[in-house]
Structure 1
Amino acid sequence: MSDFQSLDFISYHNQDQSPFFSILPPEIRHEIYAYALSEYENLERPYQKDSYWWRPGNTAFLRTATELLRTCRRLYNEAWLMQFALAEHRFYLTQADRAPGGTTWPRGFEKCNQMVYGSYGKHQPSGRFGLGGIRVFAQLYKLEPGDELQEILDVPDFYPRRVAVTIRYSDFWFWESNTPLHIDATWVNEIRLPDSVTYFTVDFEMIERRKDEVNLIANDAVKKWFFERRDGAILTACKEDISVSTWTGSSILGGQRWVRDEIRPGQLDYHVVTVIWKLRQRGDCPPHPCPNLDVPRDFVQPSPPFTQTDSIDLRSLQIANVSLDTPAAEAWRAMQRYYESAYQGTTGFDDE
């Protein structure tokens, strides 16, 4: 991103001989530009399926095909900005090993934003023409204090229309030990969105077995949370702003095979509840401050499909020649036999 810089043409041919410019109105050309310059997943640079960040819509590095901008100078002048305005810029409030390439901020983001604002934004009537939208993948320990998210929102001259936060299964507190869900609301009360934001989205992701828990959390967020902009305007949600999606991913995370919740060998089924907070009248907002979200104490969590252990070390599975398509119970028994054999070989004792 930091390599992009707008070319400053002193003059260009008006291209009136081309039906694209002489017949098609600007509104139609805009739609064509939007289609051609929208970012897409570059399948030539895929992410590993067993990484923390692989998920639908995030299976590969993103790319924007800019070949169209090389067609002619007039087209370049009309469409250059759209590659930035249409993009969803992705941030990772995570440990470095949970972000692609260990990069938590998009490369050159601040410089690019300043360049766009300097070229276009300061000439707009509102002075607010920045990059389109952002998505933040956040572990709760990074998200909940609110300061790191606010740092992103406070980038100078940055006026996104859309802000999205994704809280993945492995981002929740103590997900490894099956702990009941909890989200501290400090960040909800502390952050202030740019005045340009009209949509704020949160994805609450959980494994399928625990979908009832995350449904409770998401529904409470709709009823009890709102987000405030710097200008005092508020964004609230209602039950019509909830949607649900599902997907299947690898059960290997952080070098461990999480057999506890495998429905099929090597796979976990995910349940995602998405809530959208929209700009509404301030009188519609819940009481302030927004409360923490917890699962009710009397909630009974369904038992995992496999209870012998939570996970098995991936390297140990490989050393023991246990394939990843081996069912959880069988893989566990194979590892027990391997450990017993290794112990006997070390001590020199056998069953006799």
Structure 2
Amino acid sequence: MLPRFSRLAVYENPEVDKMAGVAMGVATAWLLHNLELLQKSAEKDHHPQTQSPLFGKLPAEIRNEIFALTVTEDEDLSKPYGRQTYYWRPEFRGPRRFNVALLRTCKRIWLETRPLPHKLLRNLPWAFFLAEENRRPPEYRDKGPRQLERAQKFLTTQWQALETIQIFLQGLTKGNIEGFFREPLLQPSTIIFTIRYTDWLYWESQYRLGLDSRQMRWTRLPDTVTKVVMEFEIIQSREQELNNLIAELTRLEERYRWYRRDRKSLRILNSKKPCVKEWTWDGPTNYGDGRTWQHHPSGYKMTYVVKVVEWERDEA
């Protein structure tokens, strides 16, 4: 069982929470006021640039599509992670970054593209690592929701825009998950829990795959959650074990339910076909200092299998 993250004592103090909430509210109001003044100034004094085909010929709908493709989130491959780290994987081969350079080009473009980062927060899963230090990228400083530096600067509206979040979960325990959700501004509607191959209990010795149904039943998710997605990853040679686990989840679905703070439950609704998606990718056979294990194939790569199961709010 993993320890609760180090800042939990602060989150558990209601007086500290209240003071922090007041401070964040004042800071948010100040920033929003200044952004409003900046927008009014830009609207009043900017060059229309109709001489440019971008603004003079292309309709706004097409410009918005171009801007949306430019202002996006991707991997910064100029600072790649090591391939043998525990967190190197598809879409996480380097630090995630927002490409917002376009917003700095001129006032006219800033006025049209300013809402895009907020839309990205709403439409893309924001990733968190609820894992030990060597299992998360170096820019993720702890196990709390403010683990990234840019998250520490979020406005209230930006926290509220995080409707879908992804948590790389090393240790499914009540303390881990509830401790993470003590951030009051974090109220997602969809949570994606990703359990990587090396996050399974005693994966090094091929210990039987399993989920602790008691921890699931004891854990209370925010009341805003209407869907839980679990991504289960295993190496290809152990795929049948994962199939057996998913079959158990559906056969004993009353035991494997998620619950919210309001005591309403989320369950696997499609028991005939619980696995809604699956894919494979090629990753390393060894980690860290190059250590490998007997049940890994020889060579520098092996196939990883990911299977996805969804829990949804049971309205019956």
Contact residue 41 and residue 58 of structure 1 kept, 8 A:
yes
Partner of 1:263: 297
Moved more, 164-173 or 196-205: 196-205
Deviation at 1:74, TM superposition (A): 2.1
Taking a change above 3 Å as real, the CA distance of residues 172 and 78 of structure 1, as seen in their structure-2 partners, is: closer
Taking a change above 3 Å as real, the CA distance of residues 68 and 279 of structure 1, as seen in their structure-2 partners, is: farther
Q: Are 2:128 and 1:94 aligned?
A: no
Contact residue 177 and residue 219 of structure 2 kept, 8 A:
yes
Q: Whose RCO is larger (CA < 8 A, sep 6+)?
A: 2
RMSD: 3.1
Partner of 1:11: 41
Partner of 1:111: 152
Distance in 2 of aligned mates of 1:241 and 1:179: 22
- Runs of 4+ residues over 6 Å off in structure 1: 14-17
Deviation at 1:135, TM superposition (A): 1.6
**TM, length-normalised to structure 1:** 0.65
Distance in 2 of aligned mates of 1:232 and 1:32: 44
Partner of 1:213: 241
Deviation at 1:67, TM superposition (A): 1.7
Contact residue 84 and residue 290 of structure 2 kept, 8 A:
no
Q: Are 2:124 and 1:58 aligned?
A: no
Deviation at 1:160, TM superposition (A): 2.0
Partner of 1:275: 309
Partner of 1:158: 186
Q: Are 2:279 and 1:245 aligned?
A: yes
Unaligned runs of 5+ in 1: 122-128, 284-352
Distance in 1 of aligned mates of 2:142 and 2:68: 27
| Equivalent residue runs for 1:18-33 within 5 Å | 23-24=59-60, 33=67
- Give CA-to-partner distance per residue, 1:38-95, whole Å, 9 cap, x none: 3111111111111101111221111110022224242254335234334533222222
- Give CA-to-partner distance per residue, 1:245-271, whole Å, 9 cap, x none: 112211112424324234341222212
Q: Are 2:225 and 1:197 aligned?
A: yes
Distance in 1 of aligned mates of 2:280 and 2:113: 40
Q: Are 2:266 and 1:235 aligned?
A: yes
Count residues in correspondence.
264
The percent identity for this pair of structures is 26
Partner of 2:79: 45
Taking a change above 3 Å as real, the CA distance of residues 256 and 35 of structure 1, as seen in their structure-2 partners, is: same
- Give CA-to-partner distance per residue, 1:202-226, whole Å, 9 cap, x none: 1111111111111111232244122
Contact residue 242 and residue 275 of structure 1 kept, 8 A:
yes
Taking a change above 3 Å as real, the CA distance of residues 77 and 64 of structure 1, as seen in their structure-2 partners, is: closer
Taking a change above 3 Å as real, the CA distance of residues 251 and 233 of structure 1, as seen in their structure-2 partners, is: same
Contact residue 258 and residue 266 of structure 2 kept, 8 A:
yes
Partner of 2:103: 69
- Give CA-to-partner distance per residue, 1:183-212, whole Å, 9 cap, x none: 212331123333333331111111111111
Contact residue 37 and residue 82 of structure 1 kept, 8 A:
no
Is the radius of gyration larger for structure 1 or structure 2?
Answer: 1
- Give CA-to-partner distance per residue, 1:266-293, whole Å, 9 cap, x none: 2222122111223341x3xxxxxxxxxx
Partner of 2:15: none
Distance in 2 of aligned mates of 1:222 and 1:35: 39
